[in-house]
């Protein structure tokens, strides 16, 4: 997911002070020079189309609605410092959030959802990034969007302080959509979330790990066996090592050796699972690997080209899905430009393979 807001921030820049040179005869200014030991500060509002990547597990939405834009409400969890909240303003230059100074005393130092987030995805960090850096005062905020018919309302809440820092108001965007875009590399039936490569192959990868672990365990048993002792015998603890000694009382224990596992069984299972993973992802040839489990042509040019073409088809399919999301937030950017930018803008449009400059 990505948040696509029109962001306005209060900025300060410095510039040199100039001094006019006056013609003593006419009293008119004939030139300007820089005063190197003086400077002045200029304040202005910088507005632009923003793109904020969102963690999948920081976006919450209502159960109803088949697409993201049809959801009845959407909540986005975010972290900001009080100073960051103060710099964000409306396009008119007014402060976006209120009561920010009162949030400092109640600043939260930890992310309660860090453990939950890591439990649901192994791609995130195992540590709590918010808690790990206790030198920065972070405030948890919720961006709350709610759809009522064709109208979308927006408010911002600091849940840990139970304070509303931006009152409920209609979003200002002409496009009339949630300023949020979802991304996917592969569609999923009856869901707009899609699915990723790791999600598709996770069970296959777990099966590969399970089979390999079973083989290694069996191999360890065959190399380091066990002892069979009678019930009235006493065998002291021992360590399997070169030159080791086994102490016993009574009858000598009998070593038990297990059969060594057949590596062909591991190879067959591994090839089947590897082929399944290969077929739903990208050919190793396409990633620069010198071999591929599905190549039965012994690496000939024809076999490699065939597998690369199959991989290209998968990549094209994924790129097509991703491009639709790029088009979605691109349309939001263009409509925001039409709404908030007063000066004339020129956009290059491709028509019939030719670049046409239009206003």
pLDDT in tens, 174-191: 898 999 998 877 777 677
Q: What is the mean pLDDT of residues 252-270?
A: 84
**pLDDT 10s digits, 57-72:** 789 999 878 888 889 9
CA angle 231, 237, 238 (to 5 degrees): 120
**Structure confidence at residue 133 as a pLDDT band (50, 70, 90):** low
Q: Smallest Cα–Cα separation from 33: which of 19, 50, 12?
A: 19
Query: In angstroms, rounded to a whole number, what is the distance separating the alpha carbons of residues 278 and 286?
Result: 11
**Could you tell me where the DSSP H helices lie in the chain?**
82-87, 114-120, 129-132, 197-223, 263-280, 301-340
Q: What is the pTM of this model?
A: 0.62
Q: Which two tokens stand for residue 192?
A: 């707009």
């Amino acid at each position: 997911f990505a948040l696509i807001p029109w962001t306005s921030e209060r900025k300060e820049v410095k510039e040199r002070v100039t001094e006019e040179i006056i013609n003593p005869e006419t009293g008119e200014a004939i030139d300007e020079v820089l005063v190197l030991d003086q400077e002045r500060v200029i304040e202005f509002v910088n507005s632009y189309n923003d793109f904020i990547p969102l963690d999948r597990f920081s976006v919450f939405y209502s159960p109803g609605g088949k697409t993201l834009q049809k959801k009845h409400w959407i909540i986005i969890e975010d972290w900001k410092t009080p100073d960051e909240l103060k710099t964000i303003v409306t396009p008119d230059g007014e402060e976006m959030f209120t009561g920010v100074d009162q949030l400092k005393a109640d600043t939260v130092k930890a992310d309660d959802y860090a453990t939950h987030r890591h439990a649901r995805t192994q791609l995130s960090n195992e540590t709590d990034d918010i808690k790990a850096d206790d030198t920065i005062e972070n405030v948890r905020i919720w961006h709350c969007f709610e759809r009522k018919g064709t109208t979308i309302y927006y408010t911002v809440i600091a849940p840990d302080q139970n304070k509303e820092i931006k009152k409920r108001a209609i979003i200002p965007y002409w496009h009339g959509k949630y300023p949020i875009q979802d991304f996917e590399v592969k569609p999923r039936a009856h869901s707009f979330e899609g699915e990723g490569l790791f999600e598709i192959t996770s069970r296959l990868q777990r099966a590969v790990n399970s089979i390999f672990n079973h083989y290694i365990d069996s191999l360890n048993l065959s190399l380091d066996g066990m002892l069979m002792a009678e019930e009235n015998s006493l065998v002291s603890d021992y360590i399997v090592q070169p030159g080791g000694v086994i102490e016993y009382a009574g009858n000598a224990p009998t070593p038990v050796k297990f059969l060594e596992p057949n590596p062909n069984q591991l190879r067959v299972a591994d090839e089947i699972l590897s082929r399944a993973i290969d077929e739903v992802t990208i050919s190793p040839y396409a990633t620069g690997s010198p071999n591929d489990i599905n190549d039965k042509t012994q690496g000939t040019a024809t076999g490699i080209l065939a597998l690369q073409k199959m991989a290209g088809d998968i990549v094209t399919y994924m790129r097509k899905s991703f491009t639709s999301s790029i088009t979605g937030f691109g349309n939001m950017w263009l409509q925001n430009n039409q709404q908030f930018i007063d000066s004339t803008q020129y956009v290059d449009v491709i028509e019939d393979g030719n670049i046409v400059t239009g206003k």
